[in-house]
Chain A
Amino acid sequence: MIEARGITKTFGGRGGLLGTQPVAALRGVDFVLPSGGAVSFIGESGCGKTTLGRILCGMEQVDSGQLLVGGTDLARLPQRERAALLRRVQMVHQDPYSALNPTRTVRQVLEDPLALRARQLRRGRDWVESRAVELLGLVGLDPAYCLSLYPHTLSGGMRQRLVIARALTVDPDVLVADEAIAMIDVSLRLGILALLRQLRSELGVSVLFITHDVAAARYVGADGQLYVLYRGQVVEHGPVDAVISSPMHPYTQCLLSAIPVLRGLEEPAAEQLMPIAGLDAGHEPPGCLFADRCPNAEDDCALSRPTLRDAKEPGHRHACLHPRPRQVVAVPLAPDARPSGPP
C-alpha cells in the first residue's frame, strides 16, 4: 500500500543571516506497508518517527527519496491528485484533546468530511447521517449519546475513538497512529489498540504504528514488521517477534532492555543492555551513529557507518558491524504459576 524508498528529511540548516545547525530527521528510510498489513516504528523521542508519520500524511515534504502510495510515486503527481492520494492516508494523533476542534460537535466533526465524501460518491444527506451513526458504532461509541456533544465532554478514550471514526470518514487505506495511546488512561488503552486491530481485520485498513511502547506495537501488528529508528536511520527491522526475541543491534537491545518487568508475572531476561551515554544529537560522527553510546562498540565502529545487512532469519536485517543476538526481554511465567483469583 505504501512503499518508501530512501526517504530523507533534514530540518533547519539555513545558512545566511540566521544560520542554524541542520538536524537530520530521516536518513534514507526504506519500508513497505502491505495492504491490510501493519508496520511499527519504535525509537526514542527525536529519532524521526513523528516526522515519518507527518510525511506520510502529507504534512511535511521529503527532501529526497520516493514515496509510493498504492504504487504511484507521489512526487510525479500534480498537487491536486497528490492531495487526493494522500487522503487515503489518515493520521490518528497522539493527543486526542487537541485533535478535536472544541467548537465543533461530534456530529459536525463527522459530517463535514462525510459531506465531501457524499459528493464524490453521489450520495445524499441521508447517507451522511446514517454513515456518521454507522462509524460511531464501528468505533464503539453510542451515537444516541454522542452525536450532539462537544468533544470536551468526552473522556480521552472516547475522544480517541472519535478521532479514529473521523479518519474513517474518507475510507482510508492506511491509518498512521502516532503514539495514539500515550495520553489515554491505562485501563482504556488496550481498548484503542484492540479497535485498531479490529479495523485491520474487518476493514482491511493498513496500520502504521509509531510508538515507544514495543508491547503495544506487538499487540496491534504482531504479524507485521518492526522497524527500529535511531537518529533517523533504520538500524534494525524484521518480523515483530523475531526482532523482539532475538534483537541484533545493540540499540534495539537497549530499547528492549528498558521495558519494565512485571515482577511476579514475568521472568526477567538474564542479560540486559543500557547505553553508556545520553543522546547527543548535535554530534555527527563519520561512523556508526550509535557508537558513542554503544556498550559494545569497537574501534572500527567510529570509522565507518554500517548499512542494513541480513540477519539469520529471513527478512530480519540490522545495521551493526559487530552484531550479537541477545535475549533481553522478560518471558512470561507459565500460566499455571499464576493462580486465578478466588471464585
Chain B
Amino acid sequence: MRTNSASLSSPTATTAQSVTVPGEVPGAEIRGLKVVFQTPAGPMPAVNDVDLDLPLGTITGLVGESGSGKSTLALAMMNAVPKPGHIAAGSIRLPSVTDMTRLQGKALRLARGTALGYVFQASQNSLNPLKRIGAQLLDLGRAHGMEDKGALLRHARELCERMGLDPVRTLSAYQHELSGGMRQRVGIVFALILNPSVLVLDEPTTALDMISQRTVLDIIRYVQRERHLATLIITHDIAIVADLADYLVVMYGGRVVEKGPTRHVLQRAAHPYTEGLIAAIPRISGDIDRAQPLPGRPPDLLSIPRQGCVFRERCAFAIDQCSVQTPGLMPVRVTRRHDALEEDSALLDGQVAACHVRAPAPSAKVST
C-alpha cells in the first residue's frame, strides 16, 4: 500500500494553469514518514505512512483535530519529535537538506531556522521573557554564523515594518509588552530572519481574535508572495486555510485521509471525514440547518485503530473491508455530473483520498 500512495501523491499536474497553483518547484518532500511513541501499551504510531509535498511558491493547509498527528508531523519536520517518540521511518527532504531525519548535532541545529522556519503554536510565549526582542534576534543570527550585526538588524527592521510593527520599539521591547497578535507577528519575524525557503506555521491563529487572525493570515499571504516560500499551515480549523491555501491536506488518526487543491477538496470532499468536517462548519449566511454535526469523537494515540481505516468508527459508509484493510490514497473520480465544474476537470487527478468506498483502488483486491 505504500507504493500506491507514494506514486500517486507526487504532483503530476504540470498542466495546472490556475493562478493559485504556480509552477511547482520542489520545496519540501516528505516520504513514508512514520513517528512512533513508546507508551505503556506498546509502541503507538502518531504519524503513519505520510507523504507530503510542499512545492515552492505554494501554501499548503494541513487540517486535523487533536490526535490527528498534525503537530507531531510539524515537529518531525524539524527532527524534533519529543521524547517517548521517534521517527521510525521515512525521509524529509528540504531544498537545502537532503534528509532532515538523518541530521544530528550541529548540522541539525544549523538546519533549524535556516532550512526551515518555524512559527510555534504557542508563539505567545516563544520568546525569552527576560531578554529584549532585538537581543534575541541577534542571538539567533549569531547561532547561525551571521556575524554582520548591522545587516541582521536592518533585515529585522524591514521585516517588522512589513508586519506593521514599529521596528525600533518592537526590537527594544520585552515579550510581555506585546499583545497576542503582535507576538505572533514577531514569531513570524523570527522564523523568516534567516531566510529559509520553507515556512511551517503550527496553529498560527489560535488564541487570536477575528481581526488579529485576519491580519496574521494576510501577513502570511504576502510574505509568501514576496519570498516564494513553500508554506505549511497547520490548523484544526479548515475555515482558516480555506481562503489562503493552494492545497489542503486532511489528517485523521495519524494518517493523511485526503489531499488536493483547496477548491476541489472543499467543493467535492471525497473522504467522509473531510465531508463531515466541512458540513459541520456553521455558516455566516444561507441556510442555518445545512450545518450537520459529525458524530463520535476523534481517537487519541491509544485508541487509533492499528489496522483498517482510522475513521471507520465514525463513518456512516463503512463496509466490512474498512476494518480489515487500510485504504491507500487513491485518485478521486467523479462519476456523477459536474457540469458546473467543467473548467476544473483538468485538475481532477490532483485530488486523492484514502477511502475504500469513495476512492476505491483500481483493482478491487489489494493484498496487505
Contacts and interface: CB of A to CB of B under 8 A. Distances in A.
- Are A and B interaction partners? yes
Interface residues of B, number: 61
B348 to A, nearest CB: 12
A339 B337 contact: yes
Contacts of B340: 336-337, 339
A274 B216 CA distance: 12
Interface of B is mostly: loop
Contact of B214 (A158, A245, A257, A329): A257
B329 interface: no
Most B CB contacts (10 A, CB to CB) among A156, A264, A268 go to A264
Interface in B158-215: 164, 179-182, 209-215
Interface in A173-228: 185-191, 193-194, 212-216, 218-219, 222
A260 B239 CA distance: 6
A275 interface: yes
B336 to A, nearest CB: 6
B266 interface: yes
Contacts of A260: 214, 217, 239-240, 242-244
Contact of B275 (A190, A264, A341): A341
B264 A264 contact: yes
Interface string A261-288: 1111110100000110011000000000
B214 to A, nearest CB: 4
A83 interface: no
B283 interface: yes
B128 interface: no
Given A193-B282, A262-B242, A263-B262, A339 B294 contact: no
Contacts of B337: 339
Most B CB contacts (10 A, CB to CB) among A186, A256, A263, A279 go to A186
Contacts of B338: 339
Contact of A341 (B66, B181, B243, B269): B269
Nearest to B274: A341
A262 B281 CA distance: 10
Interface string B92-120: 00000000000000000000000000000
Contacts of A222: 288
Contacts of B66: 156, 185
B179 A279 contact: yes
Contact of B266 (A219, A263, A339, A341): A263
B271 to A, nearest CB: 9
B221 to A, nearest CB: 12
Nearest to A217: B282
B280 A187 contact: yes
B346 to A, nearest CB: 16
B3 interface: no
Contacts, number: 159
Interface string A237-260: 000000011000000001111111
Given A185-B66, A187-B276, A339-B340, A259 B209 contact: no
B285 A332 contact: yes
A332 B179 contact: no
Interface range, A side: 35 or more
Contacts of A337: 340
Given A244-B285, A331-B285, A339-B334, A187 B65 contact: yes
Nearest to A334: B340
Interface in B115-143: none
Interface in A306-343: 329-332, 336-343
Nearest to B335: A342
A155 interface: yes
B358 interface: yes
B278 interface: yes
B297 A185 contact: yes
Given A186-B237, A219-B288, A263-B263, A255 B211 contact: yes
A262 B282 CA distance: 11
Contacts of A212: 209-210
B84 interface: no
A88 B337 CA distance: 54
B292 interface: yes
Nearest to B289: A219
B288 A185 contact: no
Contacts of B180: 45
A339 B270 contact: no
A235 to B, nearest CB: 14
Most B CB contacts (10 A, CB to CB) among A255, A260, A332 go to A260
A210 to B, nearest CB: 12
Contact of B236 (A186, A191, A245): A186
B282 A157 contact: no
B280 A190 contact: yes
A142 interface: no
Most B CB contacts (10 A, CB to CB) among A188, A279, A337 go to A188
B333 A342 contact: yes
B43 interface: no
Contact of A264 (B244, B263, B293): B263
A222 B288 CA distance: 8
B277 interface: yes
A81 interface: no
Given A186-B65, A186-B280, 14 more contacts: A158-B297, A190-B281, A191-B294, A214-B210, A216-B282, A218-B288, A219-B282, A262-B243, A264-B263, A266-B283, A338-B268, A339-B338, A342-B333, A343-B336
5 nearest A-B residue pairs (beta carbon): A258-B214, A332-B286, A219-B282, A264-B266, A264-B263
8 contacts: A185-B236, A188-B297, A188-B298, A191-B294, A194-B293, A266-B285, A342-B270, A342-B332
